[in-house]
Amino acid sequence: MSIFLDREHFIPIRYPELIDFLCLGKGAKVAFSGMAIESARSFREFALALRHYFHFHNLQRFQQLKEDYAPFDPDADTIALTKLDSVQENEALAHFFDEMGALLKDANYLHLSREEMTKIMQGHSLWGLEMQVHWDIFQRLEMYYRGDVKGKRSYKVWYRFWTLFKPEIREVAEFNRLVVLLKQQPSRHTQNDADLKSVFMKMFKDIPKCDLEMVLPGTRVRLNKLDKGMIFYPLVTGFGIFFYNVLAHIFSFRPLFAFAGGIALSWGLATALAGYAYRAYYTYSVKKTTYSLRLTQSLYYQNLDSNAGVMHRLLDEAEEQECREVLLPYYYLWHEPNEQGWSSQELDDRIEKDFEKYLDVKIDFEIEDALAKLNRIGLIRNQNGKLFAISIEDAIKKLSTHKLARSQSVGTPDSAKSIVEQSSHKPPNQENNMFQIEFR
């Protein structure tokens, strides 16, 4: 099967639109033959059953993630009745980061190592400023991205005066989606009011790689060599000339009048140079303030979610992606059956080629993962390495059976009632309704 280093597993088509494309050819760039009315109706029913299956499948995962995040949620408005000791807290923290990493992988995010972060952060930002990240303030820091793409940004550069009236448009490398998970720890660079107990999660869109530092707390603007030279060189030079003239007049025993005149001249020159240094520092401060303002404005539109909201969004994205991954191979196995069956490589290549041909979308389809899910649910048969789909009627029945079993296991009114009855000392027939209240 084909391996594309410049493509990702993520399928950037909404699930309902993908169904419309497969059934009716909607959105196709070239002619695409859809299905007959009856086949399309059956396929839509299958697609809905598949979505319900994964929704119930992820319900238990969602509940568990909420429990895992509860001790570290900075936005919680409930009171914890039990506290974790240091050992339990470290174990719970490691477990939560592992579970979030697995969730992000299911949503087709890629992990950034510390070395990769450091390499990306080298150099100055889009606004010409160098940033410094204090890594020692983080107990845990993880970054995940999806979509290594090219974006466009407008520039105004002082040495190109025409850009002051018409900004220059440049192409920059950026991450289409970026997720940050972090927990801070005490250090000499940690702010006094920093929250050291919570785990913070952030999701951003369209973050330029050269501005990756801006999404982290504890980052400060650092003077580059030009700024240092413009500020400190005039100061050193001015005061150096001043003290040189003072010492020269003292040790040469020149007349007092000449001595006073030399001092005044030297002091005037030093003052002028100091004024120039102050002007350079003021310019740097304005540039720093402008950067902070642009950063605030930029992140206002680029911040997608925070903390528990990130978890909710990722669970939804992972569920959608799983539905798309399973729907596509089943469609080809069922709609275009082959007497000899399909191989996994043929199926993988066909999906990628059709996406590129009909939708102008390039993907690296994750066929092994999709087939593993299909096989786990029981929607395909594997005969000597050749793949066949079960009938769509049987597939719908299987999905409905799985959904019913899952709904009973996670807690429906009937199952809740049975639990109450089993835990009660009274016979079940004495409590016909778990919500019944007796007034006396």
- Domain termination site, one of 174, 203, 222: 222
Same domain for 144 and 198, yes or no, is: yes
Give CA–CA dist 308/200, Å, rounded. Answer: 9
pLDDT at residue number 214:
82
* 282 sits in which H/E element: helix 256-302
Same domain for 348 and 372, yes or no, is: yes
- In the DSSP assignment, the letter for residue 342 is B
* 208 sits in which H/E element: strand 200-208
Q: Which residue has the tokens 């080298």?
A: 122
Can you give the pTM of this predicted structure?
Answer: 0.74
Range(s) of the domain holding residue 282: 225-288
pLDDT at residue number 133:
86
Contacts of residue 288, defined as CB under 8 A and 6 or more positions apart, other chains included, come to 129, 221
- Domain termination site, one of 170, 204, 222: 222
Same domain for 117 and 213, yes or no, is: yes
Per the domain annotation, does 417 fall within a domain? no
Per the domain annotation, does 237 fall within a domain? yes
**pLDDT digit string (tens) for the chain, length 440 residues:** 444 546 889 999 999 999 999 999 999 999 998 899 999 999 999 999 999 999 988 888 999 999 999 999 999 999 889 899 999 999 999 999 999 999 999 999 999 999 999 998 886 666 556 778 889 999 999 999 999 888 876 666 555 555 556 667 778 889 999 999 999 999 988 888 899 999 999 999 988 888 888 888 877 766 555 555 555 556 566 566 656 665 565 555 455 444 445 555 555 555 665 665 566 566 656 666 655 656 566 667 889 999 999 999 999 999 999 999 999 999 999 999 988 999 999 999 999 999 999 999 999 999 999 999 999 999 999 999 899 999 999 999 999 886 555 555 544 444 434 333 444 444 444 434 333 333 33
pLDDT at residue number 205:
92
Please tell me the total count of domains within the chain: 3
